[in-house]
Structure 1
Amino acid sequence: MQELPLSKVYQWLEPGPVVLLTTARGGRRNVMTMSWHMMVEFTPPLVACVVSQGDYSFAALRATRECVIAIPTVDLAAKVVAVGNCSGRDVDKFGTIGLSPLPAQHVAAPLIAECLANLECRVVETRLVNRYDLFVLEVVKAWTDPARTERRTIHHRGYGTFVVDGETITLKSKMP
């Protein structure tokens, strides 16, 4: 074994795909790239995510207590990185980057038409926001686009490096 710098630990634990988180506040919509999230519960579906106080989306998420988590596929990787490399304080990311907002059913934040799936979410727990910027979200409506042929997601490994989903294997499980 070789020692691993603690600053690189997250690169080994990133569990899920890179997602796009949308918010809307005061008539202004925004989107950010996010990879620090995890499932917390199956029923109802709860997702914990970190949205830093330095992110423009933080104030909107905290104030409105709702968002959309959109799940892009590998063909959107360049747009996902472009979203993450600018701030909604300065840029209309939807218009500049070329993402198509769609109305959600239960939240003001928009769905993203180009994404494989969109999860409408409401904040249900904020006790860890002040200390860790950690929000717990309940998914209240989920959408997918069955017409999308590309289904491979991307996973952040740090410093501009991503892994693309590959082969799927199915093993016997006792989970429902």
Structure 2
Amino acid sequence: MITVDDLRAHPLHQVHRLIEPGPVILISTRHHGTPNVMTNGFNMMVRHAPPLIAATVGPWDHSYQALVETGECVIAVPTADMAATVVDIGNCSGADVDKFAEFDLTAVDAEQVDAPLIAECHANIECRVADTSLVSSYHLFLLEPVRAWTDPSQPAPELLHHRGDGTFTVDGPVLDLQDRMTKWQYLL
């Protein structure tokens, strides 16, 4: 039998590396007419229907003020082949760099929000801020999707997952266990 003496303590400041929050996303905003995009690795689905997404965006992020003032954004889901660009986007500030121009990203007009879609991404989810009650304490925005788009030319994208230390994993084989989802058939 394993006891706690057989285990190794893990530093609390690295707990985020144990529970991967989901794919790395890009968050686009438009503030005073200027589009911007940031990389975000701290995000998660909160519920599936109606959909609700949580993302950490803090005052250290140039996009923070845009999100606070406009109450809207686009969550763009890049594929693994965009990994270097995704990291580079996260290593500079929209206060200093036009990231759409710098990284050859194509801004596409959204239907429901002013923030742009990103054409190079597999998916784009237009969102409105649904709840800010956790922003002051945790910098956590709850976002309500109002429109979603996928690129049909990318039917089986490999998504990028940050491991919290500058390394990434990429989606692997798909395990199809739909027949076992007896309680959740309506989701299939």
Common topology (TM > 0.5): yes
Judged with a 3 Å threshold, the aligned counterparts in structure 2 of structure 1 residues 90 and 121 are, in CA distance, closer, same or farther, namely same
1:42 matched to which residue of 2?
48
Within the alignment, does 1:2 sit opposite 2:2 as a pair? no
Could you report, residue by residue, the CA deviation over 1:73-117 in whole angstroms, capped at 9, with x for unpaired residues? 001001100100100010000100111110000000000000000
Within the alignment, does 1:32 sit opposite 2:38 as a pair? yes
1:12 matched to which residue of 2?
18
Judged with a 3 Å threshold, the aligned counterparts in structure 2 of structure 1 residues 163 and 67 are, in CA distance, closer, same or farther, namely same
Structure 1 runs of 4+ with >3 Å offset = none
2:90 matched to which residue of 1?
84
Deviates more, 1:3-12 or 1:135-144: 3-12
Could you report, residue by residue, the CA deviation over 1:33-75 in whole angstroms, capped at 9, with x for unpaired residues? 0011111121211001110111000000000000000000001
Contact 2:27 2:38 in 1 (8 A): yes
TM-score when scaled to structure 1? 0.97
Task: Compute the RMSD of aligned alpha carbons.
Answer: 1.0
Residue 150 (structure 1) shift: 5.8
The match for 1:141 among 139, 142, 147 is 147
CA distance in 1, matches of 2:42, 2:97: 23
Matched residues, percent identical?
A: 52
Residue 159 (structure 1) shift: 2.3
1:160 matched to which residue of 2?
166
Within the alignment, does 1:67 sit opposite 2:46 as a pair? no
TM-score when scaled to structure 2? 0.91
The match for 1:22 among 17, 22, 28 is 28
Q: Which runs of 5+ in 1 are unaligned?
A: none
Could you report, residue by residue, the CA deviation over 1:135-158 in whole angstroms, capped at 9, with x for unpaired residues? 101000000001126600010002
Aligned length: 176
